[in-house]
Amino acid sequence: MSTRKFSRVGFQVDATVRTADRTFQGEVENLSMNGMFMVTGELVPLGTPVDICIVLSGTTPEITVTTSGTVSRIVAEGLGFTFEKTGLDSYSHLKNIVAYNTDDADKIMEEKHHSIGEKIAATKSQNDR
């Protein structure tokens, strides 16, 4: 049973990942509003903070999605990342990528709205203590 809260879509594009001590590239295999899986031979420990840059070639001007997050999965084929902080422009581009590559764009937005509601409720609960 999957514990994912966000639908993933196949989307092949190159990405660059930067950690505190190195930078490497790989190919995004799939992504969601909350993370991505990248095919790479690099090994990075779970929980490592990263900055990710996805460049969408073929557009003028070139579109770049930048986000920060952590390594959340390690398998022989590559690394999974959870997005933690995404700027407004990059969020909009990411939302469009996911929406255009799914059969159910409404479901994608419902998932994100539900996640935002959970975060607001958790913050309110912490503040009420």
pLDDT tens digit sequence for 25-62:
999 999 988 899 999 999 999 999 999 999 887 777 88
pLDDT tens digit sequence for 71-126:
999 999 999 999 999 999 998 888 888 888 776 655 555 655 544 454 455 455 56
- Residue 119 is predicted with a pLDDT of 45
Taking alpha carbons only, the member of 97, 87, 98 closest to residue 59 is: 97
pTM for the full model?
Answer: 0.75
Homologous superfamily (CATH) for 9-128: predicted glycosyltransferase like domains (2.40.10.220)
Chain-centroid distance, C-alpha 64: 13
Domain ranges of the chain: 9-128
